[in-house]
Structure 1
Amino acid sequence: MQRSGTVTIGCAKVVGVEIQIARTHFDSPVAQTLCDEIQAEYVRRYGGGDETALGAGDFDPPNGDFLVAYDESGEPLGCGGWRTHEDDAEMKRVYVREHARRQGLARRLVAAVEASAAAAGRRRLILETGPEQPEAIAMYRALGYVPVTPFGFYASEEGSLHLGKELRSKQSADA
């Protein structure tokens, strides 16, 4: 299924449901709806949304990418993206709608973000998260993310957790 303005970058089955992960513009209605939902989740967990400044152009290739996962019927289930941060790629807005959680979709989204950043020549993917997201912290650690030097808007925020992972480029994976 192809949507206007999107490029399909992967398909997978998650608990028997065909999932399509497609590139989309960060300022598209579907991306903004999902980002509004994640901000509401942050309000529930932290008492306020993520105040990091994000521009639509931050996620435009080759300096970034924004991905949305859709089910077989075309319903958006989650999202994630990356943007350039110095020499690294910074992962932002990884989110899965509540009814689609605990089925491996977040891992698939993270893998797609990692692959996109590596394909763009980024060697490390970094992220910031917080203590009120223990399931995200556990997933990132299980995927090989380790503590890195604090960066970004929440660098000095007590409790903010900054993680990173070295990416394998296609060239090193083929070697």
Structure 2
Amino acid sequence: MNDKITVSKTNNENIDFVNLVAALDTGLWACYPELKTNYWGNNIIELNSNVVIIYLDNKAVACGCFKKQDENTIEIKRMFVSPEARGLGLAKRILQELELWAKELGYGISVLETLYKQKEAIGLYQKVGYIIVENYEPYVGLENSICMQKQI
């Protein structure tokens, strides 16, 4: 692969992150319109200084972020790889970057939520060490949610 990959740590006000998240939301709601009312509020990212963007040949193609859940735990949010960049291992790379960053900040546990229909995402998360756990707030009682956890 001759493509140049660069990783950038930034915040959620970065226009490339904003655009990638808009593409993520568009794709999710197109696939799962019936879930929008149950999940939309859980996807709003307040000011967040823990955003990673991957650029492929200077084009933003993948992103993710984390937010503090408690003193020892972060929650992975807004994982996305644009369709033209899938299959290059970028989702795994985003996860690694986020986990390393969280570990450097003193966190020991990473959690995340995904939809049970997102089989590829669940497979990736399990491949890198996440295990399925009971749903945590605000996903308790939402049968479409799969919550996962990993020691980092």
- Aligned counterpart in structure 2 of residue 75 of structure 1, from 59, 63, 82: 59
Which residue does the alignment assign to 1:52? 42
CA shift at 1:53, angstroms? Answer: 5.2
**Counterpart AA for 1:54:** I
**Counterpart AA for 1:157:** L
Normalising to structure 1: TM-score of the pair?
0.79
CA contact (8 A) 1:39 1:50 kept: no
Are 2:143 and 1:143 equivalent residues in the alignment? no
Are 2:139 and 1:154 equivalent residues in the alignment? yes
Secondary structure in 2 aligned to 1:17?
Answer: coil
Which residue does the alignment assign to 2:113? 128
Q: Calculate percent identity across the aligned residue pairs.
A: 24
How many residue pairs match? The answer is 147
Q: Deviations over 1:13-58 (max 9, x none)?
A: xx4322111012202211111111111111022212643153432x
* CA distance 1:53–1:17, change in 2 (3 Å): closer
Secondary structure in 1 aligned to 2:140?
Answer: coil
Of Structure 1 and Structure 2, the greater helix share is in 2
The 5-angstrom pairing of residues 92-111 of structure 1 reads 92-111=77-96
CA contact (8 A) 2:53 2:60 kept: yes
* CA distance 1:164–1:16, change in 2 (3 Å): farther
Which residue does the alignment assign to 2:69? 85
Unmatched 5+ stretches in structure 1: 1-14, 168-175
Q: CA RMSD in A?
A: 1.5
Which residue does the alignment assign to 1:24? 10
Q: Could you tell me how far apart the structure 1 residues matched to 2:80 and 2:43 are?
A: 18
Q: Deviations over 1:57-105 (max 9, x none)?
A: 2x22xxxx10110012x10011001000013100001100000001111
Secondary structure in 2 aligned to 1:56?
Answer: coil
* CA distance 1:104–1:53, change in 2 (3 Å): closer
Normalising to structure 2: TM-score of the pair?
0.90
Greater length-normalized contact order (CA 8 Å, ≥ 6 residues apart): 2
**Counterpart AA for 1:75:** K
